[in-house]
Amino acid sequence: MTTPEPTTTRDAWATRAGFILAAVGSAVGLGNMWRFSYVAAEGGGAAFVILYVVFVTFIGVPLMTSEFIVGRLSQESPVVAVRRLGGSGWAPLGWLFVVCGFGILSYYSVIAGWTMRYAVDAVRNAIAIDTEAYFGSVSTGWPAIFTHLAFMAMTVGIVVAGVKRGLERTALILMPLLFLMLLCLAGWAATLSGSGAGYGYYLKPQLGELVDPDIIVLAAGQAFFSLSLGMGALMTYASYLRSRENLGREAGTVAAADFGVAFVAGLVVFPIVFHFGLGETIGLGGAISDNTVGTLFMALPTGLHSLGGLGNVVISAFFIMLFVAAITSAISLLEVVVAAVIDGWRWTRTKATIVFGTLIAIGGLPSAFSIDFLVAADKFVGNFLLIVGGFFTSLLVGYRLLPQADAELADGLDSVAARRTWAYLVRYLAPVVLLIVMILMVPVVWDAIKPVIGLTG
Ligand code: PHE
């Protein structure tokens, strides 16, 4: 049934570390810093953080394990994999993955473009002291379009080079460095006078908020986005995996690394926000605005400006590394689309990447013109559709493939109890919770779409 293709020309990971680092590279990106800070600002801090951890642990890790299983089992791109393993009725799930990859990358690239702009402007000492005005001037319109297109061109270039060469090396060097830098920044932020209030907001929950549907929805969406879940990105990477690793442990490792980065990013951002009184500017805990979306992009330069020339160097280094983290995530988004086209239509990698990279770049233009559009895309594709994808993935694995999937998982994970727990979470907990989240999410997504289609101011 699952005979490995004998004459395969598919790429494969040279080492286990290569796979883990690429998976971490996919997970760790703008989601951990840009998105985590903006959503934690929007969602009222600590309660959001707690719910986020709960989602990552009980839904995220089991589902990531499931994606790894399907990838390694099939040795195919997700589109082919879900159809071949699930039957033709499951084909739309594969298409949904491709739509997500396409849709997320289109606006993700715009934000990645901001990071490029910040990295360059910081060394030129061109980030204005008024970081709100500066963010406003570079985040939309022609400056944003320019950096968005530049970012897409780079991503396409890297994917054309192929999975091993392109990904393993990039991920290897910069992720640890970025984390180290965040730790240093967190240490510095701790010395700021408002840091206590910042930690309070970020870490001391209001118990009532733990059952607030708005915050639950934010936390679930953030967990999926940040873990690269629900759209076959990690499934694609696992399809290049041949060796018999413990997939549950791999998923745990990726999730822990991803959470670590986001958590420390919060320890940097919130003390700064409180020390410099940025709360009102970014609309902390209130209605979402363009500035909320720019939380990270305003907080960091505001904080570091106070250090003078050294601050500029730090800002630049930070955004260069964030840019690299964004590129390793963007690659995984594009890879889902490209792998589907290669496996499905037998296009060459180069052609598939260039054609679809161009289409995605065009698809990102509206987000470069309007932050409202960007937010709507982020809520609809980056949250809602990922949850939908995760919901159906849990059904596919939990009901249609369970014996096969369990056998695949057993290849590397001996513990029957662990596999039982996994099966339980994927069969029962994930579908039920995700269905509820999907329903709760509809009004939230609708609220974000309304301004774009001109229904409200
Ligand atoms: N997880 C990535 C980030 O946090 C974004 C992403 C989402 C990548 C979905 C792939 C798939 O930046």
Closest CA to ligand 1's atom 10: 228
228 C-alpha to ligand 1 centroid (Å)? 4
- Listed residue (78, 68, 66, 63) closest to 22, CA to CA: 68
**Is the shortest distance between the CB of 77 and ligand 1 below 6 Å?**
no
**Is the shortest distance between the CB of 332 and ligand 1 below 6 Å?**
yes
Query: What is the maximal distance between C-alpha atoms in the chain?
Result: 63
- Residue 158: per-residue pLDDT: 82
Domain 16-453 has CATH 1.20.1740.10: yes
Residue 339 or 385, more confident:
385
CA angle 412, 414, 420 (to 5 degrees): 110
**Best substitution site from 225, 226, 321, 384 to test ligand 1's pocket, by max atoms within 8 Å of Cβ?**
225
- Residue 98: per-residue pLDDT: 97
Q: pLDDT tier at 4 (50, 70, 90 boundaries)? A: very low
Q: Are 69 and 408 in contact (CB under 8 A)?
A: yes
Closest CA to ligand 1's atom 4: 31
**Is the shortest distance between the CB of 32 and ligand 1 below 6 Å?**
yes
Percentage above 90 pLDDT, the chain: 67
What mean pLDDT comes out for the span 181-195? Answer: 92
In this model, does residue 72 exceed pLDDT 90? yes
How far apart (Å, rounded) are the C-alpha atoms in residues 48 and 202?
9
- Residue 2: per-residue pLDDT: 39
Ligand 1 atom with minimal separation from the 29 CA = 12
In this model, does residue 5 exceed pLDDT 50? no
Note the pLDDT tens digit of each residue in 291-329: 888 899 998 888 888 888 888 888 888 898 899 889 989
Percentage above 70 pLDDT, the chain: 95
**Is the shortest distance between the CB of 383 and ligand 1 below 6 Å?**
no
**Is the shortest distance between the CB of 24 and ligand 1 below 6 Å?**
no
Amino acid at 86: G
What mean pLDDT comes out for the span 236-244? Answer: 88
Burial 230-269 (b: 16+ CB within 10 A, else e): bbbbbbbbbbbbeeebbbbebbbebbebbbebbbbbbbbb
329 C-alpha to ligand 1 centroid (Å)? 5
Q: Domain residue spans in the chain?
A: 16-453
194 C-alpha to ligand 1 centroid (Å)? 31
Note the pLDDT tens digit of each residue in 357-409: 999 999 999 999 999 999 999 999 999 999 999 999 999 999 999 999 999 99
**Is the shortest distance between the CB of 233 and ligand 1 below 6 Å?**
yes
**Is the shortest distance between the CB of 75 and ligand 1 below 6 Å?**
no
Q: pLDDT tier at 354 (50, 70, 90 boundaries)? A: very high
**Is the shortest distance between the CB of 225 and ligand 1 below 6 Å?**
yes
Residue 316 or 1, more confident:
316
Token pair listed for 356: 């679809």
162 C-alpha to ligand 1 centroid (Å)? 19
Q: Are 446 and 409 in contact (CB under 8 A)?
A: no
